[in-house]
């Protein structure tokens, strides 16, 4: 693999030979490194794990992309047709490994960057990394990932709860839950898919705790992937997309109000702008209609070994799986630079760098309706073009 081949890369370049450092060897980091190299810019990828695509390797077994194979490829290398239209987790990992090898990317594994700050002369960036390393780069691309650190809400009583509890990031398959009563908390794409996986894997009872009913889309209708629609409407006014999506939703998805999932009052694109990506249906609709996945109110607290729901109901599942999302966890790395918003997200992304932090770029920290991998690929090219221009 490229990672092992480049593990001995020299990590103390002279000021006259400062590379661009890319932090993270996931899709965003690898795409940025290739795009920079294609423009004649030396890019060194720093990855804290021992292999590329570390976060993808940790996803649950049945995961498939909700975006099409053709529109999920990174710059400079198509995904093989044998992967099918909806690429599996394992094939995505294979693709990332092949991508790094094919482009002979300069990747250093086992290096974690803890803090980024301007160099003393203000002409570059100083990276403080594991092992006491101090690396100086002409520019930095942060690609540490949208799903970086598991988020678990601060539910009252959660710390003293003694029942089986885990974040969805620890879930792999349904085998440990066969014949058991499981409560899945959160109806994003991960929670919805885990709930379906549990049903198919033989769980005795599956409940799905929902705070706000999501927009649910068919992944594909008559061969037309929902991603295509997302690309078409990406630049349209939010109110217009909201109006257009309502009749289409009624035609493509049934009303699940009687089962506890009413159609959302807020428009689809309004919710996207608020950070709520629609749920792509991979079996949830049928499971809810059949009652094999039961919709229940959101979790309010934990008390005396029970889970208390928002309506006051107390339940005692055998296991709780919190599909409650992730945080970007960028504060230790760049929080001191005053470039994060109130939710801990970068105030800029792609080819734009903050005014007070020139030559510092972020990629992969948005979740657009048109597909994260597609936008990450586009961002990589834009970043490389901007960096090459700045260095010239």
All domains of the chain, ordered by start, with CATH? 2-148+328-391 (3.50.50.60), 158-323 (3.50.50.60)
Q: Describe the crossing of helices 27-38 and 89-102 by its angle, rounded to 10 degrees.
A: 20
According to DSSP, the residues that pair with 45 across neighbouring strands are: 22, 107
Residue 3: the pLDDT is: 42
User: Using an 8 Å Cβ cutoff, are 339 and 354 in contact?
Assistant: yes
The Cβ-side half-sphere exposure at 115, using a 13 Å CA radius, reads 11
Task: Give the angle subtended at the CA of 379 by the CAs of 377 and 383, to the nearest 5°.
Answer: 125
Residue 6: the pLDDT is: 44
Q: CA-CA distance, 363 to 352, in Å (whole number)?
A: 10
Residue 279: the pLDDT is: 95
DSSP letters, 38-99, are: HTT--EEEEESSSSTTHHHHTS-TT-B-SS-STTTPPTT-PPPGGG-SS-BHHHHHHHHHHH
**pLDDT-flagged residues of the chain (< 70):** 1-16
According to DSSP, the residues that pair with 302 across neighbouring strands are: 307
Tokens of 358: 């020139």
- The backbone torsions φ and ψ at residue 106, rounded to the nearest 5 degrees and listed phi first, read -90, 100
Q: CA-CA distance, 185 to 90, in Å (whole number)?
A: 26
Closest CA to 223 of 45, 85, 110: 85
pTM for the predicted model, two decimal places: 0.91
Residue 274: the pLDDT is: 84
Residue 273: the pLDDT is: 86
The Cβ-side half-sphere exposure at 150, using a 13 Å CA radius, reads 14
The pLDDT tens digits for 156-198 are 999 999 999 999 999 999 999 999 999 999 999 999 999 999 9
Task: Give the angle subtended at the CA of 291 by the CAs of 288 and 297, to the nearest 5°.
Answer: 70
Sign of CA dihedral 116, 119, 125, 127: negative
Residue 281: the pLDDT is: 95
């Amino acid at each position: 693999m490229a990672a092992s081949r480049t593990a001995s890369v020299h990590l103390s370049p002279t000021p006259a030979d400062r590379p661009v450092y890319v932090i993270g060897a996931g899709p965003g980091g690898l795409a940025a490194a290739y795009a920079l190299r294609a423009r004649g810019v030396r890019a060194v990828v720093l990855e804290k794990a021992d292999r590329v695509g570390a976060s993808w390797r940790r996803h649950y077994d049945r995961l498939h992309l909700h975006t099409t194979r053709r529109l999920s490829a990174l710059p400079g290398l198509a995904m093989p047709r044998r992967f099918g239209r909806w690429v599996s987790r394992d094939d995505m990992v294979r693709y990332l490994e092949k991508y790094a090898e094919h482009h002979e990317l300069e990747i250093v594994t086992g290096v974690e960057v803890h803090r980024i700050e301007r160099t003393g002369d203000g002409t570059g960036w100083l990276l403080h990394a594991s092992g006491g390393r101090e690396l100086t780069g002409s520019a930095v691309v942060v690609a540490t990932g949208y799903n970086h650190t598991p988020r678990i809400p601060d539910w009252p009583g959660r710390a003293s709860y003694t029942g089986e509890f885990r974040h969805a990031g620890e879930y792999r398959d349904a085998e440990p839950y066969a014949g058991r009563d499981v409560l899945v908390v959160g109806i994003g794409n991960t929670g919805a898919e885990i709930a379906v996986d549990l049903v198919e894997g033989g769980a005795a009872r599956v409940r799905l705790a929902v705070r706000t009913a999501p927009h649910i889309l068919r992944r594909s209708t008559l061969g037309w992937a929902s991603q295509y629609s997302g690309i078409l409407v990406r630049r349209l006014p939010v109110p217009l997309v909201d109006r257009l999506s309502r009749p289409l939703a009624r035609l493509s998805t049934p009303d699940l109000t009687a089962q506890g999932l009413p159609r959302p009052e807020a428009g689809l694109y309004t919710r996207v702008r608020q950070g709520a990506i629609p749920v792509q249906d991979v079996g949830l609709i049928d499971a809810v209609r059949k009652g094999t996945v039961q919709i229940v109110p959101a979790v309010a607290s934990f008390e005396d070994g029970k889970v208390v729901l928002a309506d006051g109901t107390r339940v005692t599942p055998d296991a709780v799986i919190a599909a409650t999302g992730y945080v970007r966890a960028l504060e230790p790395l760049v929080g001191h630079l005053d470039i994060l918003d109130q939710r801990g997200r970068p105030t800029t992304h792609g080819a734009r760098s903050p005014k007070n932090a020139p030559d510092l770029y972020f990629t992969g920290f948005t979740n657009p309706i048109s597909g994260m991998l597609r936008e990450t690929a586009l961002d990589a090219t834009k970043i490389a073009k901007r960096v090459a221009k700045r260095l010239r």
